[in-house]
Structure 1
Amino acid sequence: MATLIAPITFSPGLDAEALRKAFQGWGTDEKTVIAILGHRNVHQRQQIRKVYEEIYQEDLIKRLESELSGDFERAVYRWMLEPADRDAVLANVAIKNGSKGYHVIVEIACVLSADEVSQ
């Protein structure tokens, strides 16, 4: 099992700039996207998103969606969401998939408290 080591210093501005550089040119530097977002917690990713929007006047999630594709795009998109929003997206996709996706709803309901489910 791999262990991720989070950096001691965190700068959302530097991360936003590095992500912008990863988007430039032909193709996207996916390793940089993973290296930055994979070593941040949900609150840090939200700070990066906010700073990115302040600096470049565009939503980071929309930029990621335009730069990435397939399963990787979906994974990074869900990575960027708050836990409650991510659960809502997963439940929505599961409902649209019909009987194949109900295990996702059961898992969400089992993991969350009654108050968290009702929110």
Structure 2
Amino acid sequence: MATLSAPNNHSPNEDAEALRKAFEGWGTDEKTVITILGHRNSNQIQQIRKAYEGIYNEDLIKRLESEIKGDFEKAVYRWILEPAERDAVLANVAIKSGKNYNVIVEISLFSPPKSS
């Protein structure tokens, strides 16, 4: 199994700007999206989301939804969400589809307990 390492010296502002450039023109530069978001950990992705919104006054998730489609959109969308957000989306999809409740069981079994 391959592992990706997130760079320690990434700049959220530079990543946000590179993503914006990837969205310009005809079509989206999906390779750039993968290169940036696929090589960042959850904390770094959240920093990029905040930087993107701060620079462009636009939600990065909404922009990605308008730029990419299909399975790639689902994968990227779920990758950039925080774990709790991702679990909520997966549970919602499972409930609406009425087919795969195993997702809900897995979320409930493997989610860390809340501390009080």
TM-score where L is the length of structure 1: 0.90
Q: 2:62 aligned with 1:52, yes or no?
A: no
CA distance in structure 1 between the partners assigned to 2:109 and 2:6 by the alignment: 29
1:13 maps to what in 2? 13
CA distance in structure 1 between the partners assigned to 2:85 and 2:97 by the alignment: 18
Q: Quick one: structure 1 residues 106 and 60, their matched pair in 2 at CA, closer, same or farther if it must change by over 3 Å?
A: same
Aligned pair count reads 115
TM-score where L is the length of structure 2: 0.92
The structure with the largest helix share of the pair is 1
2:114 maps to what in 1? 115
C-alpha displacement of 1:72:
0.9
C-alpha displacement of 1:113:
3.8
C-alpha displacement of 1:71:
1.1
Q: Quick one: structure 1 residues 109 and 52, their matched pair in 2 at CA, closer, same or farther if it must change by over 3 Å?
A: same
Q: Quick one: structure 1 residues 113 and 14, their matched pair in 2 at CA, closer, same or farther if it must change by over 3 Å?
A: closer
**Higher RCO (C-alpha under 8 Å, 6+ residues apart):** 2
Letter in 2 for 1:36: I
Provide the alpha-carbon RMSD of the alignment: 1.3
8 A contact 2:6–2:39 mirrored in 1: yes
C-alpha displacement of 1:86:
0.7
Q: Quick one: structure 1 residues 107 and 36, their matched pair in 2 at CA, closer, same or farther if it must change by over 3 Å?
A: same
Letter in 2 for 1:7: P
1:75 maps to what in 2? 75
Unpaired runs of at least 5, structure 2: none
Q: Deviations over 1:52-99 (max 9, x none)?
A: 11111111110000000011111111111111111011001000111x
CA distance in structure 2 between the partners assigned to 1:58 and 1:32 by the alignment: 19
